[in-house]
Amino acid sequence: MKNRIDPELRESLELFPALNLDNLEETRKLLAESQEALDIPLDETISLTEKMVPGAEGEPDVRVRIHEPKERNGVLPGLLWIHGGGYVLGTAKESDLLCQQFVKEAGCVVVSVDYRLAPEHPYPAPLEDCYAALKWFSENAAELGVDPERIGAAGQSAGGGLTAGLALLARDRQGPKLSFQMPLYPMIDDRNNSPSSKETGSEHLIWNQELNEKGWRAYLDGMQGTENVPEYAAPSRAEDLSGLPYTYTCIGQLDPFRDETLTYVTQLAQAGVDVEFHMYPGAYHGFEGLAPQADVSQRALSDYVRAAKWAMHREVATVRK
């Protein structure tokens, strides 16, 4: 499969160490050290604050990072951002640079969720943290200078899976109404048996079938692949996608999640949901973050930031339709 990788993406992949999910403590430590070494500068036009917001009933508070422009004209739309990491890795801080880009280019306020991770906190803890953050965002929109009718949710990989699960949960609980959802190359099918998943096997492609099995096992506490998995945990299992908001998603052609994403997009369209979808040839999982200077990465990033801007700033009458 490696001969199919976009040449501009190959070097970054070779330099990226294989993830070890059998020793999560060490892997989390190494990723945190790598993040600290990057020392991402804060854009001087953007304000960043960290806050603890109420969690679900009986659950701990949830940490969020709020990115907003220091100067603004009027009320802005809002974006709830959910980081990736296979449900077992990652922090909200790792998405700071991307969140800044959304603020600057999409003209919005971003609330990034530091949800609890599996296996210490399996489903539904991470999803409930995201729902609690969305609820707080919506209820405090006026204080944040945000239009509560223009709040969307987005995330990458496991964050994309949580985004899709959150959209279903908010719909069924009749909670805060999302104006759009953007589950990017989402991790949504615990069965892990699609042709694209099998193609990756144990190959070093950032994420593969072997890692995917371990991530799902941690998130679902060993229930993956059984009939006991709820659709909010694995949105590929949802039988009714009607009533969901406008959806944008994308995938690399060499991503193990390719086929589950294609199926999800088809089912959304058949359910009457407006959906936009992009697939990038020669691209593996998370390519635009690992090799941001590659042409295909810049196109992908530009595509989804543009889509977020369009979704948040379109006519309210269209959002409410």
Neighbours of 126 (CB within 10 A): 25
Running DSSP on this structure, what letter comes out for residue 178? P
Residue 278 contacts by C-beta under 8 Å, 6 or more apart in sequence?
Answer: 249, 250, 251, 300, 303
Q: Among 67, 83, 121, 285, which one carries the catalytic annotation?
A: 285
In a 3-state reduction of DSSP, which class is residue 109?
strand
Would residue 204 show up in a list of annotated catalytic residues for this protein? no
| Nearest CA-CA partner of 156 in 92, 232, 210, 201 | 92
Would residue 202 show up in a list of annotated catalytic residues for this protein? no
Cis peptide before 122 (omega within 30 of 0): no
| Nearest CA-CA partner of 162 in 205, 130, 139, 195 | 130
Running DSSP on this structure, what letter comes out for residue 89? S
Which strands make up the sheet holding 146-156, listed edge to edge?
A: 46-53, 62-69, 109-114, 76-82, 146-156, 180-184, 246-252, 275-280
Name the token pair of 43: 């854009």
Residue type, 225: G
Residues 233 and 237: their CA atoms lie apart, in Å, by: 9
Would residue 302 show up in a list of annotated catalytic residues for this protein? no
Q: Taking the mean position of all CA atoms in its chain, how far away is CA 9?
A: 21
**β-bridge partners, 100:** none
Q: Among 157, 194, 196, 197, which one carries the catalytic annotation?
A: 157
Q: Among 96, 189, 190, 255, which one carries the catalytic annotation?
A: 255
Positions annotated as catalytic residues are: 157, 255, 285
